[in-house]
Structure 1
Amino acid sequence: MGRHTRKLISGVILMALAGAGAAWWLTKPRAWDAAHWEGLGEPDLANGEQVFWAGGCASCHAAPGAPDDQRLVLAGGRALKSPFGTFHAPNISPDETAGIGDWTLAEFGNAITRGVGKDGEHLYPSFPYGSYARLTAKDVNDLWGYLQTLPKSANVAPPHDLSFPYNIRLALGGWKLLFLTDEPRVAVNNADAKLARGQYLVEGLGHCGECHTPRNTLGGFEPGMWLAGAPNPEGQGRIPDITPASKSIGSWSASDIASYLETGFTPDFDTVGGLMVEVQKNMARLPPSDREAIAAYLKALPAR
């Protein structure tokens, strides 16, 4: 092998290593600086409970069909089917072994808003951190405090059942680079305090877009299709369009929407069904002002 050939091969290897290093740096898990979670004081447990219900924590992490107070046992295990495989919701009870009882606020906050696990690994976006990225540090702290008051469970959730290449967590760094942002999903004109609250609840805590917005082949939201309806992740039917011009709720008033979230009844006296049953149960626990804010935001969305 000649000198020039060796130099060429060495150059190619160096370029490949440099490219791999750059790719790793761009896609590595990125937690908040420690200061982000400091100085928050004692959690406001009443607000933490409201964050819990608005965020739908029980819907995924309690046992399917759990009644009443059993919804507060966050044992995990629920299967979440998707085109990429089946995800299993983890135990997030305060159990120190099976749950997250030995986590810190920073570890919990980085998981919920940055998709970074306790050991610094990427988490799958079946956990809607793409929406929770908009949560304030105060709300995360209050939620964390409230979770510590709930019953412990020793249940160990099964691992995710994913085929290649979706079982490679390193690839999630590229997904985050493309799709993870805490910027508003849409621009709402003349936003007052009520609209701002509604946007925070719908785009963030309520993570409504996770079901109501169609996705591309990589699992990111389709541009310009916010809340425009999407295939049912469980495989049957569709999640409806909930924009102002939709056939589902386009003719509803803001008070109709707020009433539906509280009672589960449509203006035509039909009842909530499907995946929305759990969501409506959660929304019914919020103060009326929050349901009114959600309704105001949905009515203020730009027409498609």
Structure 2
Amino acid sequence: MTRRTVFRLFGLALLLVAGLIYLTRPERIGPDAIPTHTADLANGERMFWAGGCASCHAAPGAKGDDKLVLAGGVELDTPFGLFRAPNLSPDPEHGIGGWSEADFVTAMTLGTSPQGTHYYPAFPYASYRNMRLEDLIDLKAFLDTLPASTNVVADHDLAFPFSWRGTLGFWKALYLKRVPPPAPQDADETVLRGHYLLTGPGHCAECHTPRDLLGGQDLDHWLAGGPNPDGEGMIPNITPSRSGIGSWSAGDIAYYLESGFTPDFDSVGGSMADVQENWSRVPAADREAIAAYLKTVTPMPAQDQQD
């Protein structure tokens, strides 16, 4: 092979890489794409608890009203490295107080920061992108009413190549626009509401659906459980199968989300304890909607069991 041929192949390789980087560059949503909407703070609070914002963005161990101070700092120890939840308070310097509605919607649906960089999908924007823009506007308005914090959160601690944010463009190209299984065609309004809450603000599949080697959800095993993405053990199967919650009634599921008690009078534990506490604060109709939808999901065997 001649030197000229080598240079040509090298140049083609560089062009290919440059083209891929361009095609996977961070996307943004402009102000013109944001609908005119008068923010509903009550609905914003509803989305706040359904979305579990305090579970990651309140200070570690926060209780009571302190959970409304979204100072950040919770650490997620994953196979890709250590992620730290950022300050989400309305402080203009250290939080998101200086963000516009377009900045917020862009972050929540496209995983792009106001500075034009990719966010890691430990921030579950792959689910939040299923939310209605009006609900996101309401959520941003509610977040702006919370106490500001000047807490500075350290950056993530990730090994190469995961520390290079440029790789996230490829991850988004593979996974971001994949859609979750739809609700049944004959679904009533309650089931449709439950599907929306579970696939959007509730982001239940982020933990309850297994993932492949690159961290994308395995939609062929929707809600069938899998390895805990932040620690040891397994996340339960929540499909209506024998190895899942098939023996639970819709009322059992709704009561569990309200009280933390299973039909066998066991109590919620682990990371689900925070999730259950959040869902105890949403209207009963939303808990009932989640329960109604879960009873319609295709039954799946748990990943470590045979059904």
TM-score bracket relative to the smaller structure: over 0.9
Secondary structure of 2:19 counterpart? helix
* 2: CA distance, partners of 1:187 / 1:282: 24
Structure 1 position 48 matched with structure 2 position 39: no
Aligned partner of 1:163 in structure 2 is 159
Q: Tell me the distance in 2 between the aligned counterparts of 1:184 and 1:232.
A: 20
**Which SS does the other structure have where 1:80 is aligned?**
strand
> Aligned-pair distance for 1:38?
4.1
Task: Give the corresponding residue for 1:30.
Answer: 27
Shift of 1:182: 6.1
- What's the offset of the Cα at 1:289? 1.0
In structure 1, distance between residues paired with 2:219 and 2:3: 47
Q: Does 1:20 align with 2:49?
A: no
Structure 2 Cα separation of the partners of residues 278 and 218 of structure 1 = 27
**Residue of structure 2 in register with 1:142 after alignment:** 138
Q: CA deviation at 1:37?
A: 1.4
Within the candidate set 275, 286, 290, 1:279 is matched to 275
CA distance in 1, matches of 2:58, 2:190: 31
Report the alpha carbon displacement of residue 283 of structure 1 after superposing the two structures with TM.
0.6
**How does the TM-score come out when normalised to structure 1?**
0.94
CA deviation after TM superposition for structure 1 residue 15, in Å? 2.4
Letter in 2 for 1:34: P
CA contact (8 A) 1:91 1:99 kept: yes
Q: Give how far 1:28 is off.
A: 0.8
The partner residue of 2:113 within 111, 117, 120 is 117
> After the TM superposition, which segments of 4 or more aligned residues of structure 1 sit over 4 Å from their partners?
none
Instruction: Select which of 96, 102, 109 maps to 1:100.
Output: 96
- Residue 252 of structure 1 is matched in structure 2 by 248
1:299 aligns with 2:306: no
Q: Which moved more, 1:217-226 or 1:122-131?
A: 217-226
The gaps in structure 2 that reach 5 residues or longer are 301-307
> Quick one: distance in 2 between partners of 1:178 and 1:188?
26
Provide the aligned C-alpha RMSD in A: 1.7
- Select which of 167, 175, 179 maps to 1:179: 175
Per the alignment, in what secondary structure is the counterpart of residue 205 of structure 1? coil
Instruction: State the Cα deviation string for residues 157-212 of structure 1 (Å, max 9, x = none).
Output: 11101011110000000000111026333452412211111111111110001111
Q: Secondary structure at the match of 1:224?
A: helix
Are residue 58 (structure 1) and residue 54 (structure 2) matched? yes
1:61: Cα distance to partner? 0.3
Residues 14-46 of structure 1: CA deviation (Å, up to 9, x unaligned):
523431232023211112243221422x31101
Contact persistence 2:95–2:150 (CA under 8 A): yes
> Which residue of structure 2 aligns with residue 77 of structure 1?
73
Q: Which moved more, 1:187-196 or 1:273-282?
A: 187-196
* Residues in 1 aligned to 2:253 and 2:219: alpha-carbon distance in whole angstroms: 25
Alignment of 1:224-239 (within 5 A): 224-239=220-235
Deviation at 1:303, TM superposition (A): 2.5
What amino acid does structure 2 have at the position aligned with 1:198? G
Picking from 189, 194, 203, the partner of 1:198 is: 194
Aligned residues: 300
Residue 153 of structure 1, aligned match among 140, 149, 152: 149
2:28 alignment partner AA: A
Deviates more, 1:231-240 or 1:177-186: 177-186
Counterpart secondary structure, 1:177: helix
